[in-house]
């Protein structure tokens, strides 16, 4: 059996790895248009700083990526985030506030007026009910009131998808909250029940990465395990189906035929490749929006950063004098990402609400970000390290109707035997989601 996988980001790499384990006698080829695999799961090391280009780790509340890392022999490189990562901040009203992590802290926060706090606590009286699909903002407003939704919904979503809370689907992006609503009615009651379960269990959910090398350790280990299968600098131009075989024509003129085809690219690339084979699915795939994102790494001497760094970092409410979406205190989260007397920061910019940012020059971007850091953190010194990574159409946006759209896409491609789609545009945008989706596709192929 010949299997072609197109796209060697974390989804394609994990799919190839699991498939090779399940079917070692199959011929598997993993094609990547760039000269390096890993997609956004990449890191760089320079001047003693470690800079993650995309995600900075994965959560251990599920086994997906954790098990994969252990299977790859990375157990001794795993690094759990420091306790500082539990503390998160919000920049609003011209200063940094602690983000309340519990109902008692919500009552004490200066981010809400007394009426908004009273309305939020009234959420306890909500009973079980059934609602149609809602945006993240509308869901939060219905449960906790507009004051809470206006303050917290936007920054929370920006920190995950760089998107707009009023446009993104709660049901597609955070299905767990809908499940909790069905089970408990009140999310506060659900939170209390979850805390009790956590106390009774030895398991905790912690952000985890890899010491010294950052998240790229995962994609590098996958690459090394799959070297015989990988073909880089191979951009797929055309796909055709002839007598039950997929004919793949690449930009360099080479051709590969496969019995099974797995597309692990962004959906706009899938749409282009499937225009003739599956026009209905291609149209739906092409309609999934993406947000442009820019990640900027800045390294400083600790003495040049007057702000305390005992936190994960901060998100920025819109309408403030700070244009950045948020700042991660990378060397506080993972101390190995800078030397002991240094500070590593990651600034996230752009997104759905600031699409013009990605069009700025490097100089203009750095001017904006350094201005933001001077206002929010009091940093005026020039960084010792700086790197800019642009991700055009970097994060898929799960807008209202996303679940139905994905269901239709998957239904339509069933008519093409041997074709499978995998990636973070379908069932979750995180690293765990991508690994879990890879396992879904392998299960479909092998059962």
**Is 408 within a domain?**
yes
**CB-based contact 90:216 (threshold 8 Å):** no
Neighbours of 412 (CB within 10 A): 18
Per-residue confidence (pLDDT) for residue 337, from 0 to 100: 96
**Is 282 within a domain?**
yes
Least confident of 29-33, 82-86, 268-272, 332-336: 82-86
SS3 content of the chain, % helix, strand, coil (to 5): 40, 25, 35
Average pLDDT over every residue of 1-9: 98
240 and 316 together in one domain: no
Q: Would strands 260-263 and 2-6 be described as parallel, antiparallel, or unpaired?
A: parallel
**Is 91 within a domain?**
no
Name the more confident of 219 and 102: 219
Question: Which position has the token pair 């790229």?
Answer: 216
Average pLDDT over every residue of 200-215: 83
Please tell me the number of Cα atoms within 13 Å of 70 on its side-chain side. 7
Least confident of 98-107, 147-156, 264-273, 354-363: 98-107
272 and 402 together in one domain: yes
**Segment 145-156, tens digit of pLDDT:** 999 999 999 998
**Segment 300-352, tens digit of pLDDT:** 999 999 989 999 999 999 899 999 999 999 999 999 999 999 999 999 999 99
Per-residue confidence (pLDDT) for residue 131, from 0 to 100: 78
280 and 405 together in one domain: yes
220 and 284 together in one domain: yes
388 and 419 together in one domain: no
Report the run of H or E that residue 377 belongs to, with start and end: helix 362-377
Q: Would strands 236-242 and 78-80 be described as parallel, antiparallel, or unpaired?
A: unpaired
Average pLDDT value for the chain: 94
**Is 81 within a domain?**
no
Average pLDDT over every residue of 128-134: 81
pLDDT > 70? residue 371: yes
309 and 253 together in one domain: no
130 and 184 together in one domain: yes
358 and 316 together in one domain: yes
Token pair in block for residue 432? 């765990």
Report the percentage of the chain scoring pLDDT > 70.
98
User: Residue 326 maps to which CATH number?
Assistant: 3.90.660.20
Please give the tally of structural domains in the chain. 3
**pTM (2 d.p.):** 0.94
User: Residue 127 maps to which CATH number?
Assistant: 1.10.3110.10
Report the run of H or E that residue 73 belongs to, with start and end: none
SS3 for 59? strand
Domain's final residue, options 175, 200, 225: 200
184 and 332 together in one domain: no
Residue-number span of the structural domain to which 325 is assigned: 290-396
Q: Per-residue confidence at 102, pLDDT binned at 50, 70, 90?
A: confident
Measured between alpha carbons, how far is residue 398 from residues 38, 142, 157, 428 in Å? 23, 20, 11, 9
Sheet strands (E) in 65-188:
78-80, 88-92, 95-98
Radius of gyration of the chain (CA): 23
**Is 97 within a domain?**
no
DSSP 324: S
Q: Per-residue confidence at 200, pLDDT binned at 50, 70, 90?
A: low
Q: Per-residue confidence at 107, pLDDT binned at 50, 70, 90?
A: confident
Q: Per-residue confidence at 202, pLDDT binned at 50, 70, 90?
A: low
Per-residue confidence (pLDDT) for residue 382, from 0 to 100: 96
């Amino acid at each position: 059996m010949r299997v072609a996988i197109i796209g060697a980001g974390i989804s394609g790499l994990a799919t190839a790895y699991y498939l090779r384990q399940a079917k070692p006698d199959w011929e598997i080829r993993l094609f990547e248009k760039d000269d390096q695999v890993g997609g956004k799961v990449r890191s760089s090391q320079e001047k003693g700083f470690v800079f993650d280009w995309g995600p900075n780790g994965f959560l251990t509340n599920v086994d997906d990526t954790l098990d994969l890392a252990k299977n790859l022999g990375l157990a001794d490189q795993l690094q759990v985030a420091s306790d500082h990562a539990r503390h998160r901040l919000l920049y609003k009203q011209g200063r940094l506030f602690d983000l309340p992590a519990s109902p008692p802290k919500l009552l004490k926060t200066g981010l809400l007026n007394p009426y908004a706090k009273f309305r939020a606590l009234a959420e306890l009286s909500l009973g079980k009910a059934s609602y149609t699909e809602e945006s993240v903002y509308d869901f939060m407003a219905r449960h906790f009131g507009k004051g809470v939704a206006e303050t917290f919904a936007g920054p929370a979503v920006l920190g995950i998808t760089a998107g707009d809370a009023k446009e993104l689907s709660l049901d597609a992006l955070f299905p767990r909250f809908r499940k909790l609503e069905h089970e408990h009615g009140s999310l506060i009651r659900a939170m209390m029940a979850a805390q009790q379960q956590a106390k009774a269990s030895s398991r905790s959910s912690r952000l985890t990465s890899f010491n010294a090398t950052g998240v790229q350790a995962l994609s590098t280990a996958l690459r090394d395990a799959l070297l015989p299968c990988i073909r880089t600098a191979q951009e797929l131009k055309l796909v055709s189906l002839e007598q039950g075989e997929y004919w793949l024509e690449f930009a360099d003129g080479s051709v590969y035929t496969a019995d099974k085809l797995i597309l692990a690219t962004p959906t706009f690339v899938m749409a282009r490749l499937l225009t003739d084979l599956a026009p209905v699915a291609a149209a739906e795939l092409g309609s999934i929006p993406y947000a442009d994102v820019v990640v900027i790494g800045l390294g400083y001497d600790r003495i040049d950063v007057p702000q305390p760094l005992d936190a994960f970092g901060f998100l920025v409410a819109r309408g403030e004098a700070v244009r950045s979406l948020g700042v991660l205190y990378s060397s506080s989260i993972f101390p190995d990402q800078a030397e002991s007397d240094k500070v590593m920061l990651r600034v996230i910019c752009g997104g759905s609400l600031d699409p013009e940012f990605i069009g700025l020059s490097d100089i203009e971007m750095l001017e904006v970000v350094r201005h933001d850091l001077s206002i929010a953190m009091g940093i005026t010194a020039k960084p010792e390290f700086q790197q800019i990574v642009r991700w055009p159409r970097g994060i898929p946006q799960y807008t209202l109707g996303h679940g139905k759209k994905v269901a239709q896409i998957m239904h339509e491609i069933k008519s093409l035997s041997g074709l499978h789609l995998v990636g973070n545009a379908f069932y979750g945008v995180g690293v765990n989601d991508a690994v879990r989706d890879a396992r879904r596709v392998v299960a479909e192929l092998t059962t």
